[in-house]
Amino acid sequence: MPTISMEKSCQTVLTTFETTPGAAQDLMEALQAAYAEVISKQPGFLAAALHINDAQTRIANYSQWQRREDYQAMLRTEEMRRRNREINTMCKTFEPVMYDVAGVY
Domain range list for the chain: 11-99
Secondary structure (3-state) at 66:
coil
pLDDT attached to residue 1: 74
Q: What is the pTM of this model?
A: 0.92
Q: For position 33, what pLDDT does the model report?
A: 98
The predicted structure's pLDDT at residue 7: 77
Q: Give the pLDDT score at 34.
A: 98
Q: Supply the pLDDT for residue 6.
A: 76
Per residue of the chain (105 residues), what is the pLDDT tens digit? 777 787 778 999 999 999 999 999 999 999 999 999 999 999 999 999 999 999 999 999 999 999 999 999 999 999 999 999 999 999 999 999 999 888 889
**What is the CATH number that goes with domain 11-99?**
3.30.70.100
